Amino acid sequence: MSSSPVSVRYQPLREEELPKHFVRPYTPVCQNGHYLYVDIAARLIIDGIPTESLLIKEEEVAGEIFGDFIQQFEGSEGHNPYPLPARYNQFVDRVAFILDLRKPHDNGQARWAIPMSIVSTSSEQQIRVVQEYTLADRRLTVLKGTSVLLECQLPT
């Protein structure tokens, strides 16, 4: 296990940066009837270690849900991790969920810590990345780690 400090951040991708298997045109937020679809693609950026031969693996987690997200996420399967190691240079993180605009969506929070393994040829490091959705006065903010992936006003 290496002792060098590792930090991670995320950068939302533009359509021209997406892998070929993503649906085009790419829109991170799309409303269809009473549903608001959020699908954010982001690049993982790791500072503190060389990245040319890294593998990334995420674990399944349970989180906490407060306020209006309790009704929004009831019955959902939660976080869908990368169950097998993925090469760092091919790793595109997706943060996706659906809001039902017929259900309360004014205020609430959903958050969980995602255990992530970063494996290099010489070490393996375990880190936790907090992923958080916040609703405040119908404004949605999506955070992953310290990176803001999305901020938008929700329709009434």
| % of the chain at pLDDT higher than 90 | 29
Q: Which residues contact 83 (CB under 8 A, 6 or more apart)?
A: 57, 58, 60
- Name the residue among 32, 38, 10, 28 with its Cα closest to residue 135: 38
pTM: 0.84
Which has more confidence, 102 or 1? 102
Angstrom distance (rounded) from CA 59 to CA 152: 28
What are the boundaries of each domain within the chain?
7-153
> Which is nearest to 83 in space by CA: 55, 52, 121, 45?
55
Q: What's the rounded Cα separation, in Å, for the pair 71 and 11?
A: 29
Task: Give the model's pLDDT for residue 107.
Answer: 92
For the segment 77-111, what is each residue's pLDDT rounded down to a tens digit?
656 666 678 888 888 888 888 899 999 988 999 98
Q: How many CB atoms lie within 10 A of CB 130?
A: 13
pLDDT given at position 1: 43
